[in-house]
Amino acid sequence: MSKTANAAAIGVRRAWLGVGAPIIGLVAVIIALAVFVFGSFAQDQNRAFERNSATLVFNGLEGRARMMGAIGLDYANWDAAFENVSARWNQEWIDDNFYSSVADLMILFRQNGAVRYSWASDAYDADKDSLAAIVAEAGARLPNLRRLSRAPAVADTVALTYARSGDNLLIIAVVPITREDDAARIAYNPLSGYDYFAVVKVIDVAGFAQANRSMSLDDFHMQPADAPVGEGMISLPVVTPAGNNVGNLVWRNTHPGTAIFLNRIWPVVIGLLLIGALTLLITRHLVVRQIGAMAGAEAALEASRVKSEFLAKVGHELRTPLNGIIGYAEIIQEETESETAHADAQRIINAARHLNELLKDILDQSRLNADRIVVKREVLPVVGMVAEVQGLMLPSARAAGVNLTVQPSAAANYVVADHVRLRQCLINLIGNAIKFAPRGNVTIKTRIEERSRGDAVIFDVADDGIGIAKSDQDRLFKPFSQANEQISQIYGGAGLGLSIARELARAMGGDITVVSAPGEGATFSLSVPVASPKALQAA
């Protein structure tokens, strides 16, 4: 091999290492970011399943208990029941009236837990006595049991509690036997104690299986309070009003977020690897061609200079590799005739753009957390800022079919803020309004608000979109958080924009607040300090 060819080969290898290694590193970083982002979303989905399934189980339990309470109130707050139970014991009347097609057990007991009468459905008639004893004992342990009959409202005379019999859960509603008239009910105070009526719903193995199907839960059952919860299971303690844990409701944690993560991450990873491989091949081709042109150089110094120039050009072309990946994906999308490849390329483009925006937000959030963002104090004209932001956001508004209007206030003249950061906050608020009010209206208003620590200019960004429930509004300004899981699934986003905007607003001496209701749109208000006369003179 000639010296020239050998030098060319060495140049090719060196250039390949110099250019190929950063590309490989970039692809690795993007894949790592994609795995991190999807993994974070998967963990959020898993935690949401734990919270939502626990809420579903709790609400179902509470609903059954309240239904038993309503039935018990019908039987106990009854003059006829009072006359035939508390005034004088009429066994025949009790046998004829105390039964139900809805409840599993009906029990009359005294305050000391002594059972006076029990009725059970056919399914539990054999165990009636043992179940009645358990129910009476649980009822007798209710706090303030004697005071129930004197509650101001008849609905408050119902007390709910729970007990366990083997693997069965007993949902118990206890109501004192009282007269129907509230004054007579409250005035009655027997020395011998009250009679109490308990209505019971038994959730047995069949009942848990039915609940398992209705709530789409796996392996839903009850176990003793001291029994260990198995790995991969979720538990909800069943606690009585006295604070006793009668057992744990347990069901399997299916980790839905992890399943979604495993299904969706691999197409992204494979797509990024393909784009990275394509980039490497194109780069290698460029390197070989350029080094081949340099092979005729006589002096090693001149060859080195030419190679340096070439590497500088390649470095210039690859200074934004992420945009390069997006560009190649768009080329593939335009030139391919396969619908599958076209869709895969679009997913790669969306993922890369999303990662680019996410990286910017994550860097801003990390700087905010470390107090490394410095905001300038500039005197800025309000009208000019609003006009500038309106001009930047008009294309996005038109694309979404949104009517973007401005209603400035003549009283709001100048503010003290950082120009770049104030614009960032306004763009974020307006962009969100456009996103959540497609084909609707977004209005930017300015006004003056008098405050004890100094007046402020308020930028109100109002839309007539989907709106936000009050219970979800606190989560809007938390990093990596959305108003709720449904919005996160439909509209996407990392949940950093509003948290960063609020932190920036507070760093400038202002704040961001929101007023909204579902179906009534939302108004986000950005406050910034008014420029004082001294600041205006200095400007």
**Contact call for residues 411 and 448 (beta carbons, < 8 A):** yes
- Name the domain boundary from 253, 277, 304: 253
Residues 352 and 423 occupy one common structural domain:
no
Residues 110 and 136 occupy one common structural domain:
yes
pLDDT of 206? 85
Q: How confident is the model at residue 24 (pLDDT cuts 50, 70, 90)?
A: confident
User: Of residues 151 and 261, which shows the higher confidence score?
Assistant: 151
Whole-number Å distance between alpha carbons of 11 and 389: 50
Residues 439 and 491 occupy one common structural domain:
yes
Question: For residue 23, how many other CB atoms are within 10 A of its CB?
Answer: 20
- Name the domain boundary from 218, 253, 288: 253
**Contact call for residues 72 and 198 (beta carbons, < 8 A):** yes
Strand partners, 523: 462, 515
Residue 350 within any structural domain of the chain: yes
**Contact call for residues 283 and 20 (beta carbons, < 8 A):** yes
Nearby residues of 487 by Cβ (< 8 Å), 6 or more positions away = none
The pLDDT of 342-362, averaged and rounded, is: 64
Terminal Cα-to-Cα distance of the chain (whole angstroms): 72
425, two tokens = 């906050």
The pLDDT of 480-498, averaged and rounded, is: 57
- Quick one: the chain helix, strand, coil %, rounded to 5? 55, 20, 25
Q: Residue 374 is which amino acid?
A: V
26, two tokens = 């970039």
In terms of phi and psi (left: phi > 0; alpha: psi -120 to 50; beta: otherwise), the region of 17 is alpha
Residue 371 within any structural domain of the chain: no
29, two tokens = 């970083």
Least-confidence region, from 55-59, 294-298, 433-437: 294-298
Which among 280, 274, 357 is positioned nearest to 323, based on CA atoms? 357
pLDDT of 35? 74
Q: Is 30 a residue whose pLDDT tops 90?
A: no
361, two tokens = 């937000």
Residue 368 within any structural domain of the chain: no
Residue 352 within any structural domain of the chain: yes
Residues 296 and 241 occupy one common structural domain:
no
Q: Is 308 a residue whose pLDDT tops 60?
A: no
CA angle 392, 396, 401 (to 5 degrees): 135
Residues 14 and 124 occupy one common structural domain:
no
Nearby residues of 384 by Cβ (< 8 Å), 6 or more positions away = none
Mind listing the pLDDT tens digit for each residue in 122-144? 999 999 999 999 999 999 999 98
Q: Is 485 a residue whose pLDDT tops 70?
A: no
Q: How confident is the model at residue 350 (pLDDT cuts 50, 70, 90)?
A: low
CA angle 46, 167, 51 (to 5 degrees): 20
**Contact call for residues 196 and 175 (beta carbons, < 8 A):** yes
**Contact call for residues 174 and 142 (beta carbons, < 8 A):** yes
pLDDT of 315? 33
User: Of residues 487 and 343, which shows the higher confidence score?
Assistant: 343
- Where b means 16+ CB within 10 Å and e means fewer, 162-172 reads bbbbeebbbbb
Q: Is 29 a residue whose pLDDT tops 50?
A: yes
Residues 222 and 86 occupy one common structural domain:
yes
Whole-number Å distance between alpha carbons of 391 and 400: 15
232, two tokens = 């991969």
Whole-number Å distance between alpha carbons of 365 and 479: 8
Task: Quote the domain boundaries for residue 474.
Answer: 378-538
Q: Kind of pairing, strands 456-463 and 115-120?
A: unpaired
The pLDDT of 305-313, averaged and rounded, is: 39
- Name the domain boundary from 228, 253, 278: 253
Whole-number Å distance between alpha carbons of 68 and 366: 53
Range from 19-33, 156-170, 293-307 that averages highest in pLDDT: 156-170
User: Of residues 281 and 390, which shows the higher confidence score?
Assistant: 390
pLDDT of 363? 60
Mind listing the pLDDT tens digit for each residue in 377-390? 899 999 999 999 99
The pLDDT of 66-78, averaged and rounded, is: 92
pLDDT of 312? 34
Half-sphere exposure in the Cβ direction for 397 (13 Å, CA): 21
Whole-number Å distance between alpha carbons of 308 and 466: 57
Question: For residue 431, how many other CB atoms are within 10 A of its CB?
Answer: 18
Residues 117 and 234 occupy one common structural domain:
yes
**Contact call for residues 496 and 420 (beta carbons, < 8 A):** no
Q: Is 354 a residue whose pLDDT tops 80?
A: no
Whole-number Å distance between alpha carbons of 461 and 434: 10
Residues 438 and 518 occupy one common structural domain:
yes
Residues 419 and 354 occupy one common structural domain:
no
pLDDT of 291? 63
Residues 239 and 112 occupy one common structural domain:
yes
CATH of the domain at 497: 3.30.565.10
Alpha helices in 295-404 (DSSP H): 300-317, 321-335, 339-369, 382-399
Residues 200 and 304 occupy one common structural domain:
no
Residue 456 within any structural domain of the chain: yes
Residue 343 within any structural domain of the chain: yes
pLDDT of 131? 94
Tell me the average pLDDT of the chain. 80
How many domains are there within the chain?
3
Residue 15 within any structural domain of the chain: yes
Whole-number Å distance between alpha carbons of 70 and 198: 11
Residue 60 within any structural domain of the chain: no
415, two tokens = 């503010």
Which among 347, 386, 269, 195 is positioned nearest to 27, based on CA atoms? 269
pLDDT of 446? 93
Strands (E), 101-178: 105-110, 115-120, 159-165, 168-176
Residues 299 and 444 occupy one common structural domain:
no
